[in-house]
A and B are shown apart, each in its own frame.
Chain A
Amino acid sequence: MSIDIKTAAVEEKRITFDHIARKLGEGKKPNRYQEVVFGQQPEEVFHYRPTWDPERELYDVRRTAIQMQDFEDLLDPRQYYYATYVIQRSRQQESQEKNYSVVEKRGLLDNISDELKENIKKVVVPFRHAEWGANMNNFHISSYGFQTPIASAATMQGMDRLGNAQYLTRIGLILSENDPAILDEAKELWLHDPMWQGLRKVIEDSFVIEDWFELHLLQNYLLDGVFHPLLFQHLENHIVTRGGAAFAMLTELFIDWYAESRRWTDATIKVAIDESDQNSKLMQSWTEKWKPEVVAAAQRIADAVFADQSEEVMRSILDELDDRSRKLGLLN
């Protein structure tokens, strides 16, 4: 026999706000994600033109060439709003923290070979600057992106990238036993070593892209789609199979994070492509424009790390990316 606690029923006058009812259809109850991403961005009656962009309104659909009937369709399949986002990240952080302290306390990185240590110093640690670039780019998307679904998800993505940069910093500091020189050396490489200049150039070029959807495609799809597998799949595997198993404990979160964030990236790109041929052609042209540069930048790093296996590694990354692109309609 089940026992129900009886609570007083109070008759409700309406289920939800008018704009949500218009969106979901009468009689439908919104979840908390829908409650906060629909209808929140002001739509009309803008009092003043921005002094920093006098040709456009404060919120202006024309800040991307992508056209949508409704930009609120660019939804996040994870349905993150602030509370679910911070709770999820805090959980992940808790388990990750244990990994970091185990590696740190037990000195698990001490015994790996010098060659692998060099890999971490010269490839993994400098990549913190690339994550920092991703932070800036996502804050461009969250600033000028149209409607709340893209703006809020890009804000969280931007904070994630700051988090990623800080995790990479920690890996460096664990390796160097808190000697900050390792960060300075990595920055030197980032700024001057030929191996990094391809990537630094693409990222600096991305800083001046105004179209927020183009930037989303370049940063969160192309750059992440090439560099995250390169570093946290292939390089990680390289280190792990050569006796650096502890390294996997430090980078596990990047693998999880990337798998999660690409769900959002793919969903938003797919919705925009499915909307019209025009969008689809535009995104293809952006891909054609940026992909060669991204690939060339990655190639330099792959050559330095994987030597004669570099071709194979890059092919595997690009096959996967092309596969993904075909599914989304970015590639015919």
Chain B
Amino acid sequence: MAKNQRRLNLSQKYQLMTRGLDWETTYQPMDKVFPYDKYEGIKITDWDKWQDPFRLTMDAYWKYQAEKERKLYAILDSVVQNNSQQNISDARYLNAVKIWMQGVTPLEYAAFRGFNMLGRGFRGAGARVACQFQAIDEMRHYQTQVHAFAHYNKFFNGFNQHARIRDRAWYLSIPKSYFEDAMTAGPFEFITAISFSFEYVLTNLLFMPFVSGAAHNGDMATTTFGFSAQSDESRHMTLGLEIVKFMLEQHEDNVPIVQEWLDKWFWRGYRLLGLIGTMMDYMLPKKVMSWRQAWEIYWEENGVALFNDLARYGIRMPKHHETATREKYRITHEFWSTIYQFSHATALYTWLPDEEEMDWLCAEYGELFEKLYKPRYEYWRELDARGERFFQKRLPVVCNVCQIPIFHTYPDDPCKNICLVSEYKGTKHQMCSEGCKDIFDREPEKYCQAYIPPQQIYQGNCGGATLEDYRKWLHIRDEDAGEYYGSEDNQLWEKWQAEAARV
């Protein structure tokens, strides 16, 4: 006979299943059991006020996620079976995927390990469980990406040595140092940096353009894992907002600390995203939207609105946001010009925009592009036509904080290069911007430890003094790098196109 029981709603069920599980330890002091959640100065008076944003029990999690994985892997198998790599818009597109595998998939891995630490480190049980779910989600993301990209690796260059260059290559120090900065900080700064500044505020500028770019350019593998990860991502965004509000509500002393982190991680995230913006503007044969437009929608509208919501806690807009907005007309062009000149020392190919793309750039970026950057590209095109494809022979000065070669210009003068210097313990450190200089000056002891690739190369720590030595140390062949046109990827693509045309 069916029984008449007290019914529990989902929220009550979740509360009971998870919440009552933890206890105040008595055989060991709590401060020793949770040694890392006080030294940053964040004061939590009541962890029970934490509202778990996921409210997931394990049985529900396994069920939802298994359904998603079954679908995803069916499609990944079909990509292999149908040789869907031949259906992308153009092989130039794959350089965006290479940047992702070389630079962003390692961040998913880092997030996996970082959220594991929080999943053990926070004193509050609800916060720990939320971080554990995110940890295993991030494990999912790095794994599905490796599985999806493994197929491209069979045909194209620039994927095969990703595990080595992830740590060693100069341009991959940009994402690597970003995440290591967060992971070497305490748990509250990490979650502010990653869950809030990155996942909540800036993710639309990273994840959306990449997945949309994949969809526009016929990349079924990437599109599928992207869509499949989206529901995980929206959970992660919720966690980001929740933790920041929680810290701000717990104690007024937390407000200035959180503000400094928001300043730092807004700028750090913005600098990192310059790489993605460049990919959107230059590497997608079929464009989704320009960096400028994305910045206007996702930052100037949505991001600003979010900060306005936080004003009631005493939070103001992040420092230097005006500079970021002022740079929206130039940052991707300055970045692409740099990668173009240095691509012989990467596992990427670069190229000059064709006529149609040049028109699109003019339309999106207006006068400044026509006046400053187009002529530069035209000059390089002339050199190329004479068989003198331009590659930079010297090594750049790299920003001590964001690790980007200092190609940047003054906020009010795009013709004048900027390079700011801080002196610490008798050594000079160069920075690309006021934003990065502020970050250095706040924690010089941390940033003076940074590994600066050009300095290491000159000191002979990277295989030798020549470009060939350096490439060998990175396991990059001559054929993996430099100009796209005439490259092995380009030749293979042309061959496939010719075969398809014959049928």
Q: Spell out A's residues near B (CB within 8 Å).
A: 7-8, 10, 12-19, 32, 35-36, 39-52, 58-59, 81-83, 86-87, 89-91, 93-94, 97, 104-107, 128-129, 132, 135-136, 139-140, 142-144, 151-152, 155-156, 158-160, 162-163, 165-166, 169-170, 173, 177-180, 183-184, 187, 190-191, 200-201, 204-205, 207-208
Residue of A nearest to B73 (CB): A83
- Give A81 to B26 CA distance when docked, in angstroms: 37
- Give A25 to B199 CA distance when docked, in angstroms: 39
Residue of B nearest to A91 (CB): B66
Residue of A nearest to B154 (CB): A12
A246 to chain B, nearest CB (A): 13
B144 with A82: CB separation less than 8 A: yes
| Among A12, A87, A105, A155, residue most surrounded by chain B Cβ atoms (within 10 Å) | A155
B23 with A187: CB separation less than 8 A: yes
Instruction: State whether the Cβ of B58 lies closer than 8 Å to any Cβ in chain A.
Output: yes
Determine which of A49, A89, A162 lies in contact with B66 in the assembled complex, contact meaning CB atoms within 8 Å: A89
Task: Knowing A18-B163, A183-B20 are in contact, say whether A52-B39 is a contact too (CB < 8 A).
Answer: yes
Q: Spell out B's residues near A (CB within 8 Å).
A: 1-3, 5-8, 16-18, 20-23, 25-28, 32-33, 35-36, 39, 57-59, 61-63, 65-67, 69-70, 72-73, 81-83, 85-86, 106, 109-110, 112-113, 116-117, 119-121, 128-129, 132, 135-136, 139-140, 142-144, 146-147, 150, 153-157, 159-164, 166-168, 173, 176-177, 180-181, 183-186, 446-447, 449-451, 475, 496
B411 to chain A, nearest CB (A): 27
- Give A18 to B63 CA distance when docked, in angstroms: 35
Determine which of B83, B132, B186, B475 lies in contact with A10 in the assembled complex, contact meaning CB atoms within 8 Å: B83
- Give A190 to B83 CA distance when docked, in angstroms: 58
Residue of A nearest to B462 (CB): A45
State the total of A-B contacts with C-beta under 8 angstroms: 244
B400 to chain A, nearest CB (A): 11
A-B residue pairs in contact (CB < 8 Å), sample of 19: A7-B83, A8-B83, A13-B157, A36-B143, A42-B110, A58-B184, A86-B61, A90-B67, A129-B23, A139-B119, A143-B116, A143-B119, A166-B18, A170-B17, A177-B5, A191-B23, A204-B26, A204-B28, A208-B33
A264 to chain B, nearest CB (A): 16
- Give A163 to B25 CA distance when docked, in angstroms: 22
B180 with A58: CB separation less than 8 A: yes
B85 to chain A, nearest CB (A): 8
B116 with A18: CB separation less than 8 A: no
- Give A191 to B27 CA distance when docked, in angstroms: 11
B62 to chain A, nearest CB (A): 4
Query: 9 shortest A-B CB distances, which residue pairs?
Result: A90-B66, A163-B58, A139-B120, A39-B163, A83-B69, A204-B27, A132-B21, A19-B163, A178-B6
A17 with B20: CB separation less than 8 A: no
- Give A39 to B153 CA distance when docked, in angstroms: 16
A14 with B167: CB separation less than 8 A: no
Determine which of B33, B36, B150 lies in contact with A35 in the assembled complex, contact meaning CB atoms within 8 Å: B150
A110 to chain B, nearest CB (A): 8
Determine which of A83, A93, A136 lies in contact with B143 in the assembled complex, contact meaning CB atoms within 8 Å: A83
A35 with B154: CB separation less than 8 A: no
A139 with B132: CB separation less than 8 A: yes
- Give A50 to B27 CA distance when docked, in angstroms: 28
- Give A45 to B142 CA distance when docked, in angstroms: 20
Chain A residues with CB under 8 Å of B86's CB are 10
A115 to chain B, nearest CB (A): 22
- Give A132 to B7 CA distance when docked, in angstroms: 25
Residue of A nearest to B450 (CB): A47
Chain B residues with CB under 8 Å of A19's CB are 163-164
B150 with A17: CB separation less than 8 A: yes
B6 with A47: CB separation less than 8 A: no
B228 to chain A, nearest CB (A): 11
Chain A residues with CB under 8 Å of B59's CB are 93, 97, 163, 166
- Give A35 to B408 CA distance when docked, in angstroms: 39
A44 with B33: CB separation less than 8 A: no
Chain B residues with CB under 8 Å of A16's CB are 150, 153, 160
Chain B residues with CB under 8 Å of A143's CB are 113, 116-117, 119-121
Determine which of B36, B58, B183, B475 lies in contact with A58 in the assembled complex, contact meaning CB atoms within 8 Å: B183
B116 with A14: CB separation less than 8 A: no
- Give A145 to B121 CA distance when docked, in angstroms: 15
- Give A105 to B5 CA distance when docked, in angstroms: 9
Chain A residues with CB under 8 Å of B450's CB are 47-48
Other A-B pairs, 15, CB within 8 Å; known A160-B58, A204-B27: A15-B154, A36-B143, A40-B106, A42-B167, A45-B173, A47-B450, A48-B177, A58-B180, A58-B183, A90-B63, A143-B117, A156-B136, A162-B129, A191-B26, A207-B28
- Give A86 to B228 CA distance when docked, in angstroms: 15
- Give A324 to B295 CA distance when docked, in angstroms: 61
- Give A175 to B240 CA distance when docked, in angstroms: 38
- Give A247 to B119 CA distance when docked, in angstroms: 32
